[in-house]
Chain A
Amino acid sequence: MKNLVKCDVQRCKGCYVCISHCPKGCLTIDSSINSQGYVPVSTVSEADCIGCGMCVLSCPEPFALKVIKENKDRVCKSA
């Protein structure tokens, strides 16, 4: 029942729109800086993730985020 949220830090531009769209507060600003000079997001309290996919849907950067759902009952669509 565990969902995973993955951020490709090299693709993240540090706009934090995903953070504002996550209903469970799973995402936060990381302490690292990527090669483009952006401070990417990272996950906190990943255990709370409900796999809603809003972070992926709201993110402007293709392939910066992905959510891997363990729960097979919920039907989910790509975003």
Chain B
Amino acid sequence: MNTIETSSVLYTHYERKEGNQQTTHYCPGCGHGVIQKMIASAIEELGVQNRAIFLSPVGCSVFSYYYYDTGNIQCSHGRAPAVGTGVKRVLPDSVVVCYQGDGDLAGIGMTEIIHAANRGEQLTVFFINNATYGMTGGQMAPTTLLHEKTLTTPFGRESERDGKPLAMAEVIASLDAPAYVRRCAVSSTKELLRTREAVRIGLKNQVDKLGFSFIEILSPCPTNWKMSAVESRNHIEQVMKQFYPLKTFVDKRPENVCIKNNSFPLMNDDELLSLLTGDLTARSFESPVIDSPKTITIAGFGGQGILSGGTLLANSAMAHGLDVSWLPSYGPEMRGGKASVTVIVSDSSIPSPLDEKPDFLLAMNGPSLQYYKDKVKTGGTIIVNSTLVDDEIGRDDVNVYGIPATAMAQEALIPSAASVVMVTSLAVLSEVVSVFSLKESLNASLKRRELLDANMDLMKTAENYITSNFLVNNYNKKV
């Protein structure tokens, strides 16, 4: 005895679904169900259920994860190829099923699909072309046929006004990288059998690591086409096929070119750090004693090295083994506009990088002092760039220090390093990071390594200035 039935890759009972858990949420006669059953069968035949990851799109098939007993991710509208790229590169042996409608893939997601195809990602994309935005009630899709009336083309789609229907299989086939591009339909017995074959080939290509496969499937939407299920199949046969020829556009299987392995090696934090910081070996120092998370805001104008000052501080805190967040904020202009960075350091995880009330404010110019000074926490510290700022602070519940940062940086012939002076002052005056770790982190934080020595000298100058002028090196002890 031999049974023909739906593949067990689909659940028989849809626990995630509300209401009737025995039937799909699709309208009667919808093409999505037919195609999804075929994909399930192909997954079963290839024996890859335990490494299959189904990417549900936005559209009527948004709830595909109700049905597939595989890995599932529900992607933002049109982004499945980008999600798939990420999944595939960290899990090269997964079998990723990108399942997308025409609004999803050819409308909002055009960028993602073109670039994934052009990179030849190891993905299988099923492009369900029902020529309409089904879920939202039948608006024009990029694939809607000419003269077709939809909610948004009440006079019918006209090429002069709405452009011609986009033939995606042809578009994808025009690229160099894809390994397999084919268009099928689920309209007749013959076409169903061909579609089943194409679905298998598309998934097998991924298992064989042959590259990017794109299967466009003309699929009925009886509801928005305002037809019966059977009529909608005839419509594909008689009308849609005229504009969307069913054929194989690209088939590189005979060439059997195994595409390059484009996944990244898995790395731990130390390996990543040394990759990103080049020759610098990641060092670690004893943690400073901070009793609670500390927020440091460095603010001024673009060109004062604000963001790099934040990077230096963040790197140094990381070397201490602390958790760190680094949140820059700047205008569109590279120089002269408002710039600030907020660094949070903590000995436990940081829930949010946003903190409007800093413990330490490093005010590099007048406007930023005015903007931030009242936000500093009681008992906090304000370090002012006294070369540019002589404004009144008007608070007696914070510690205030003035450092001629700009003058010192100019004297050292590196005017963009004023922030280095400020961060050094912070290290001397607080226990957030040590001056030693700051110096050790300098190399990894500088964009221009040739200025390392000059910056190091500047740090020493700043350190001496503060120790001799303020005589204490712990702000807690200062009255």
Q: Which residues of A contact B (CB under 8 A)?
A: 10-11, 13-17, 20-21, 23, 36, 38, 51, 53-54, 56-63, 65-72, 74, 76-79
Chain B contact residues (Cβ within 8 angstroms of A): what range? 35 or more
Q: Hey, which bits of chain B sit against chain A, CB under 8 A? A: 1-7, 10, 12, 20, 22-24, 26, 28-34, 36-38, 40-41, 44-45, 67, 186, 189, 192-193, 196, 222, 228-230, 233
Residues of B within 8 A of A76 (CB): 2, 4
Q: Is there an interface contact between A17 and B29, defined as CB atoms closer than 8 Å?
A: yes
**Known contacts being A13-B23, A60-B32, A78-B41, is A67 close to B192, with CB within 8 Å?**
no
Residues in B neighbouring A69, C-beta threshold 8 A: 1-4
The CA-CA distance from A60 to B30 in the complex, in Å, is 6
CA distance A14 to B24 in the complex (A): 13
A66-B34 contact, Cβ under 8 Å, with A11-B22, A21-B189:
no
Q: In the complex, A16→B26 CA distance in Å?
A: 15
A58 to B7 alpha-carbon distance, docked (Å): 14
- B32 CB to closest chain A CB (Å) equals 7
Q: Is the CB of B3 within 8 A of A57?
A: no
Q: How far is the CA of A38 from the CA of B4 in the complex (A)?
A: 24
CB distance from A55 to the nearest CB of B (A): 9
| A54–B38 alpha-carbon span in the complex (Å) | 12
Q: Given A10, A14, A17, A62, which contacts B37 in the complex, CB threshold below 8 Å?
A: A62
Report Cα–Cα, A71/B32, bound state, in Å.
Answer: 31
A17-B29, A60-B26 known; A66-B4 Cβ under 8 A: yes
- Chain B residues near A38: list those with CB within 8 A: 28
| Supplied contacts A38-B28, A60-B37, A62-B40, 11 more A-B pairs, CB within 8 Å | A10-B22, A11-B23, A54-B189, A56-B6, A60-B24, A60-B26, A67-B5, A69-B2, A69-B4, A76-B2, A79-B4
Q: How far is the CB of A74 from chain B (nearest CB, A)?
A: 8
Bound state CA distance, A32 and B1, in angstroms? 30
